[in-house]
Structure 1
């Protein structure tokens, strides 16, 4: 059983923190996410920013009637994160599905040589949940920063969807895999990266 993050073999996955996903339900997590990314990037650690993009006749359109996020500015990362995408160990991954572990995402993350994937972003009950479960099933050790994820649900209570997703994650990947931003920040400062610039 894992008890802590292997900071020397970890990447931060910043899931879909895009203009079109930030709303009243998810906005409270944004400052926490930005602060985490700033601390993580300052220590020159690998970061993967994902961007979801919808497309014509997608399952989201056909089955859910959801027609958002077809292009900018909705698909753009929020302004506060843009500067971090230019850092040396930062990567941008575009996707058209819930998970970050697409064929391209799996190649990218595999090339980083990491074992632990730390997830923050939007939405707890969709892309974060699916990516965490896929990471678990693909042999990675997933960690979800519970106060740096949020739901942007509008058909149901965003808070209830977020809480439900965290309960599912605790059951499916392990209670220990849900951490707080304060715990991660402590680990960043307690285990400085030797490659820090």
Structure 2
């Protein structure tokens, strides 16, 4: 049994938006990549060039999903259905809160209506039920997708790369970003560079927190 792989895929707008909303928890794909349960899909919104002027990747969004189920039942030869439900903790929490808020049965804890409490929680959180600001949630997802794309390199523990190496790589990415910003580079590529820079900073912070003798300032 092989290790899980990461597949970066184009996804036409109508299907991308349906996956994003949760209405379409699956993909039907030609199995030319040896898809397997446990693999990760990174879907990027795309408009075919033949459909309209300005075709290509749209915006800077992407969706990361894990394949949880596969079948070729009643599919064209070579095609498979990939089950890719949104299994994030925040999604499960939103679904539970929504079920409470929309329940026809009224119940209370003391004088507090559970339906009102759930509805308020759904509408007031920064991070769609997590309490984390939406830009932070979005950008951390971009960082994770870039890490997934580079998992084959083996990580950043001290046996593989030094702190000096991580600093050098982050500096190279920063210089590359400065050189490409404003030069006609796509927003998608620029955001990928920023995610790489943030990941190198994260790797260094992760290494620092494991160094014996470092204590918090008081």
TM-score grouping bracket, smaller chain normalisation: under 0.3
Return the TM-score normalized by structure 1.
Answer: 0.26
